[in-house]
Amino acid sequence: MALSQERSACLGLWVLLLLGAGMEEVVEGCSCHPAHPQQLFCSAEIVIRAKISGEKIVSPSNSSSPYMKMIQYEIKMIKMFKGFNKAKDIQYVYTPVFSSLCGVKLDSNNKAGYLLSGSMWSDGRISIGQCDLVESWDNLSLSQKKNLNYRYQMGCECRINTCYTVPCASTGEHECLWTDWLLDNSLNGEQARQYACIRRSDTTCGWYRGGPPPEKDFLDLADP
């Protein structure tokens, strides 16, 4: 919502703990590296489809700071795409109350459906944030929904390199060039919505689209 394939990092330094003074101070806002949906999928520990059925504010028992408060979303999990070895059934997900701490606001009034990705804390709770793959299910393209089942996972060993300027050249056979920003001035363009970078049988990586041909060519387009 990282240039690194391993993790889309939240760059915001959430909370500075001034332990000596016994104070907590927010020092920066939330900032995320641009990342293709597949990168966010691959870096997440948990990826699920769920409906939001309720929410409430919770605080750690050892802190009275408002900045430590979390929104606890009650969910009904519909399908799990990733994380089978970590969780069987997920009833709640957590996010910071403040957007400046990368918290996300979800619609809990209409039992809206979402694609949720995040990480698991040591106590088993699931954390989601702005730098994760969190999107209304209805806003996803058909290709994205299909790619969640297996194509994104097929390409997790591939590297997706974001192109901001020309020239933008591939640095190896195990890389896909993401050119949405160059072609559409957007990070939610054709490649993000329709394509997955997958490893082919010869171990090289290339973009794959399981549907009609694209309206425009990409700088690094090769169907397996």
For the annotated binding site, the residues are: 30
Helices (H), 3-135: 37-43
Tokens encoding 183: 């072609």
Closest Cα to residue 3, out of 220, 109, 30, 11?
A: 11
Binding positions for Zn(2+): 30
H, E, C per residue of the chain = CCCCCCCCCECCCCCEEECCCCEEECCCCCCECCCCHHHHHHHCCEEEEEEEEEEEEECCCCCCCHHHCEEEEEEEEEEEEECCCCCCCCCEEEEECCHHHCCCCCCCCCCCEEEEEEEECCCCCEECCCCCCCEEHHHCCHHHHHHCCCHHHHCCCCEEEECCCCCCCCCCCCEEEECHHHHHCCCCCHHHHHCEEEECCCCCEEEECCCCCCCCCCCCCCCC
